[in-house]
Structure 1
Amino acid sequence: MKNMRKLRIGLAGVMTTPFRGDKEGNFQEDWQALSKLANSLGFELKTIKEGIYNQDQANNAARELQNWGADFILLQNSSFAAGQFIYPFADTKIRLGLWAVTEGKPTSEGGLPLNSFTGLNLYNSLLKTFRTDYNLPVKWFFGRPGQPLFDQRLRVTVQALHAVINLQNSRIGLIGGVASGFDNLIVDPRNLKRKIGAEVIILDFDTLLKEAQAIKDQTAIQTTAEGFIRVNTQFDKRMVPQLEKLSRLEIAYQHAADNFGLDAVAVSCWPRYQSDYGVAVCSLMGQLNSTGLIAACEGDVPSAAGMLALHYMSSGDVVTLMDLVTVDENDDSVLLWHCGPTSPILADNKGTRMQSLWLFDQDQKPPTGLHNDLVLKPGEATVMGFTPDFEQLLVLDGEIDNQKPSYVGSRGWYRNLRVGAEPASVPDVVQTLMNSGYQHHYPLAYGNLMPAAMEMAGWLGIKPIKKQTYTDYLIQ
């Protein structure tokens, strides 16, 4: 696993002499305030501290930010400035934000102090209409640091681009292939690389299983087993042999992650673990996610990528993968549930029951485990998943309800739903899922990450799935 890299933002300010507002003083105040935001939002900042008044200065500033390795250039129209100053920044092909500032109070002279917004308007139009070779998105900003319109827009951009840059060159290990019958989860690795910059590493199921079985370090196995039950977990002690097997598998998976530089794994979690090793690996999936190695069930590479993106957007929060198993029109909620692969870190205050997986328990046979029986803690949460061709993105957000009864497994009712920022009833949600053909897995993270997910889609050139309003007749 590689460490998450911070986003690098370059800042420069363009100016012109005829506008006599305090453009130099304002820019200095703004970059100093932005330095404080860099600490709180978690990005690196490099500032061209001298105002840009001529073409040579614009060329040099763009080159300096490019050489530094900027991921995003924030160009402030500290005042109106020459149109051609934008071109060297565009030529870097680094993502751009165009920033206009407030004019301030009129002076006794009465002249327009900065004409900043007009400069932003000019640059944006030049890039979108005149420079037909420039095909990247551009984001606008307005105001001063400390003002909501500026701060919130920057916060969303930092979250989105933090995911974008860390997805680039990430590696997802596919262990054992896609689960039998889930052909809609099969991906073309070229699409994954082209759209988000990640790659798939194929790992052999038998090799990893043999490595797990061959581990002789009992201290490491015991320490790993203790990690499974450390967080508010009730453990069925009859399942000690199964816990040892999961501990061996976790050690083998972590070794593979280190050896192959994996950021995530997509595991074909059935039926071979049950038939070849006599164990269900649901609790293993939860434990891997607890440690920061993103783990998706059933060989689902698109969901592993979605979970990884949510993990990066939330600066390393634990994520999980759910099914949407039923709906309730009476209170406009849907039930998110899975066999039990969710980390105990995401459980409500009743904690986790780590026990045999009822799905595989049979009369006259030893119980098969382990899975995490838990209810998700209440709070805002965001579902975000790539389609297998990585051309579309489902973004669904709402609130987890931990009071309404449900079924054994990892679960929580999900209400107050929105699809792609639009409020959606349960029939709307079902209509959207069915008509879009979206697959049956739902990566989930806590927090309102919908704006960041939507912006990430914009930077990556991926289309968010739009809400479809319910009708009682078929629409093709």
Structure 2
Amino acid sequence: MVRPLFRGSRLGLETAAAQALEALGPRLGFELAYRAGPVVDAHQAEATARAALAQGLDLLLVQQVTFATGEVFLPFFELPLPLGLWALPEVWEGGPLPQNALCGLNLGVSLAQRPAKWFYGRPEEEWFQRRLELTLTALRGVRVLREGRVLLLGGHAPGFFAFSALPETGLRVERAELSELWTALAEVDEEEVRGRVQALEELSEYAPEELLQSVRLELALERLAQGYDGVALREWPEVPERLGIMPYAAMARLADLGYTLAAEGDVMGLASMLALRALSGKPALLLDIAHLSPKGLTLWHGGEAPRVWAAGPTRLAPHFNRRLPAVRDMALKPGPVAGLRLLPGRRAAVYGGHLTGEKGYEGDSGHLTRPTWAAQPLTPRQFLASWLNHRLPHHLALGAGALEPALLEMCAWLGLEVLPPQPEEERLVW
């Protein structure tokens, strides 16, 4: 936006800023895919907004080179695109005001009726880069939740009624019966099964021939997962009853290969995992809150975690309850983590903390300390109280890294209400 009345409109500031922004792209992982000419009035703004929409952008930055009035902003506010409003600093101090761009940014922000993020500074400046990098991270989650495609295989596990909810962000959910899994199993090539068993390098309590059925399941699931961003699988009771194995080692090995699978048919958990993976660039986990102790909150699941999350050696072991082959037994590695639980009604829980690296129960497990909720520090007991007071489903999705700020911004772009902590420990909360 350029207002010719201001001296700053004639200095070529927009050209220099665009070149600097484009040079920043390779480091922050974005492409400057569309660049408009200067917009001076509402008519040009309408034409530019239409052209920008046709580009299929993930983010549109509207740059305040100089001051502009409200009618020039309005066509951009109407676009169904994430919008950034960016003011350039003044080129000199004292004398005639050259641009008045910051005041223009203030005016624009005051008129916005939906999420729009403000930016101030030059592309070379650290503050500008930090704010932009956070937005780019958040928008990777927005993209997968709006444009992704997942498979719900077999529905949710029996009695887990909370897992029947589906995302409301645009994520496409396709359904298939477990009969498709049995068909895929029957078509698995036995030579491929034996080759993959022989290639296993993981510590194991089982002889190779005892893992053949697990690897058959792995190959069948891998085939069904093709073309999808993730699979939510009803893995019990049918898989152990029909195949005589637990599916978790197969799911763990597929996670090693880059597939995202959610247990118990939890589609909302799967969507949460996909967002966490998009933000962190690493696999995400689904876990239960199993115990509260002086060590923190014990997080646990049956044994489907990828090895990248392991604090040390992993092993293939019997299932803790059914004693069937096989699960991956491992401690979750120490470090900062963050989590997301998408909920019906366009709501979400956003949380974080640190894993200690100490193992808990058999399967994949660890202890969460220094928890936060919507970026507010809590004690482990307050975190547990908040989870239960909000009556959240029993799967907690976890991603690697300090992702909470990006998750909160992602929820803002998606129009999701982030639940506040509710750490009441004594009275009934409903």
| Separation of aligned partners in 2, 1:121 and 1:357 | 59
Select 2:204's aligned residue among 235, 245, 250.
Answer: 235
Q: Which residue of 2 aligns with 1:46?
A: 33
What does the per-residue CA deviation read over 1:141-194, in whole Å, with 9 as the maximum and x for residues that have no partner? 12222333322221121122122122224222122221122112112x4xx2xx
Q: Which residue of 2 aligns with 1:326?
A: 291
Select 2:197's aligned residue among 225, 233, 240.
Answer: 225
Q: Which amino acid aligns with 2:305?
A: T
Select 1:249's aligned residue among 185, 205, 217.
Answer: 217
Select 2:254's aligned residue among 283, 288, 292.
Answer: 288
C-alpha spacing 1:214/1:471, structure 2 compared with 1 (3 Å): closer
| Separation of aligned partners in 2, 1:379 and 1:426 | 16
C-alpha displacement of 1:47: 4.3
What secondary structure is seen at the aligned counterpart in 2 of 1:114? coil
1:465 paired with 2:419, answer: yes
C-alpha displacement of 1:458: 1.2
Asked if the contact 1:176/1:267 (under 8 Å) is kept, the reply is yes
| Separation of aligned partners in 1, 2:423 and 2:316 | 40
Q: Which residue of 2 aligns with 1:4?
A: none
Q: Which amino acid aligns with 1:410?
A: D
Sequence identity (%)? 30
Q: Which amino acid aligns with 1:126?
A: L
| Separation of aligned partners in 2, 1:281 and 1:40 | 40
C-alpha displacement of 1:22: 6.9
C-alpha displacement of 1:103: 2.2
Select 1:180's aligned residue among 158, 173, 177.
Answer: 158
TM-score by length of 2: 0.93
Select 2:368's aligned residue among 404, 414, 435.
Answer: 414
Asked if the contact 1:208/1:252 (under 8 Å) is kept, the reply is yes
| Separation of aligned partners in 2, 1:141 and 1:226 | 55
Q: Which residue of 2 aligns with 1:127?
A: 112
Asked if the contact 2:60/2:83 (under 8 Å) is kept, the reply is yes
1:346 paired with 2:309, answer: yes
C-alpha displacement of 1:111: 2.1
1:197 paired with 2:152, answer: no
What secondary structure is seen at the aligned counterpart in 2 of 1:369? coil
Q: Which residue of 1 aligns with 2:406?
A: 452
Q: Which residue of 1 aligns with 2:99?
A: 114
C-alpha displacement of 1:343: 0.7
Asked if the contact 1:21/1:114 (under 8 Å) is kept, the reply is yes
Asked if the contact 1:391/1:463 (under 8 Å) is kept, the reply is yes
| Separation of aligned partners in 1, 2:64 and 2:420 | 34
Asked if the contact 1:289/1:320 (under 8 Å) is kept, the reply is no
Asked if the contact 2:8/2:65 (under 8 Å) is kept, the reply is no
Q: Which amino acid aligns with 1:99?
A: W
Q: Which amino acid aligns with 1:327?
A: L
Q: Which residue of 2 aligns with 1:150?
A: 128
| Separation of aligned partners in 2, 1:236 and 1:24 | 72
TM-score by length of 1: 0.85
| Separation of aligned partners in 1, 2:31 and 2:154 | 39
Q: Which residue of 2 aligns with 1:393?
A: 348
Structure 1, gaps ≥5 residues long? 1-13, 129-135, 362-367
What secondary structure is seen at the aligned counterpart in 2 of 1:15? coil
Asked if the contact 2:206/2:316 (under 8 Å) is kept, the reply is no
C-alpha displacement of 1:54: 3.7
C-alpha spacing 1:23/1:335, structure 2 compared with 1 (3 Å): farther
| Separation of aligned partners in 2, 1:176 and 1:161 | 31
| Separation of aligned partners in 2, 1:222 and 1:103 | 68
| Separation of aligned partners in 2, 1:252 and 1:337 | 26
| Separation of aligned partners in 1, 2:121 and 2:10 | 13
| Separation of aligned partners in 2, 1:338 and 1:70 | 38
Q: Give the alignment of 1:91-110 within 5 angstroms.
A: 91-107=78-94, 110=95
C-alpha spacing 1:148/1:335, structure 2 compared with 1 (3 Å): farther
| Separation of aligned partners in 1, 2:133 and 2:161 | 38
Q: Which residue of 2 aligns with 1:31?
A: 18
C-alpha spacing 1:347/1:288, structure 2 compared with 1 (3 Å): same
C-alpha spacing 1:318/1:225, structure 2 compared with 1 (3 Å): farther
C-alpha spacing 1:458/1:185, structure 2 compared with 1 (3 Å): same
What secondary structure is seen at the aligned counterpart in 2 of 1:430? helix
1:165 paired with 2:143, answer: yes
Q: Which amino acid aligns with 2:193?
A: I
Q: Which amino acid aligns with 1:76?
A: Q
Q: Which amino acid aligns with 2:410?
A: M
| Separation of aligned partners in 2, 1:265 and 1:47 | 34
C-alpha displacement of 1:250: 2.0
Superposition RMSD on alpha carbons, in Å?
2.1
Q: Which residue of 2 aligns with 1:307?
A: 273
| Separation of aligned partners in 1, 2:380 and 2:223 | 43
C-alpha displacement of 1:42: 2.0
Q: How many residues align?
A: 430
C-alpha displacement of 1:379: 1.3
| Separation of aligned partners in 2, 1:23 and 1:307 | 49
C-alpha displacement of 1:472: 2.5
1:209 paired with 2:182, answer: yes
